Amino acid sequence: MPKASAVKKSPSLEKLRLAARDAAARAYAPYSGFTVGAAVWTDRGLFTGANVENASYGLTNCAERTAIFAAAAAGARRVERVVVYTPTPSPTAPCGACRQVIFEFGPEAAVVSCCQGADTIETTIGALLPGAFGPADLGVEPADHGAAGAGTGAKASARRAKKTS
C-alpha cells in the first residue's frame, strides 16, 4: 500500500473501471445473482470491493462499502473517487447506505457508475445525497474527522466533557 505522501494523481477512469469490473467478478451473490464491484481512490491509493450477500439479507454488504471499509482499515481517511461497476446493460447508482458511507469519507467525492454498455453516470456524492448527515452534525471538527485516533485523545475527551456538562 502506498504511503499517503506517495499518492499523487488518481488513475484514469478506465483503470478504475477495470478494477471495479475485476472486483465484481469476485462478488459473492448466490441469492440475487447481482454482482457489483467498486474501486475507490483514496489518500492511501486504490482499494476495491465486491458485494457479499448473506442468507440473512440485512447482513449483506455492498461493493462500495466493502471497498471503503477496507480502505479505512488500511488507514485511508479521504475518498476522492468511487467507481461502481455492474455487469448490466445500464449503470446502477449506489444505494442510500453506500451514499452515506461515501459522504463520511468523501464529502466532495466524484462518483461514477458504469456497466457492460457504453452508458455511465458521472456525478458527485453531493448531488446523490443532498443535505447529507455527516460528522459536522455531531460536532466533529473537519480537522478531527478521520484523524488517527480521532475517537480518543484530548479533543475527543473535551467534546465528551462538553456534551455531558
pLDDT score at 8? 64
What count of Cα atoms within 13 Å lies in the side-chain half-sphere of residue 34? 11
Q: Where in the chain is the domain with CATH 3.40.140.10?
A: 4-133
Assign residue 153 a region (left: φ > 0; alpha: ψ between -120 and 50; beta: otherwise).
Answer: left
Residue/partner pairs of 137-144 with CB below 8 Å, 24 or more apart: 139/163
Residue 61 and residue 52: Cα distance in Å, rounded?
Answer: 5
Q: Which residue is catalytic, options 64, 80, 108, 122?
A: 64
pLDDT score at 45? 97
What count of Cα atoms within 13 Å lies in the side-chain half-sphere of residue 160? 8
pLDDT score at 115? 97
Pairing of strands 79-86, 110-115: parallel
What does each C-alpha distance from 156 to 57, 75, 107, 143 come to in angstroms? 35, 19, 21, 12
pLDDT score at 121? 98
* pTM for this prediction: 0.82
Residues of the chain with pLDDT under 50: 1-5, 143-144, 147-161, 164-165
pLDDT score at 149? 42
- Whether 53 is catalytic is no
CATH topology of domain 4-133: Cytidine Deaminase; domain 2 (3.40.140)
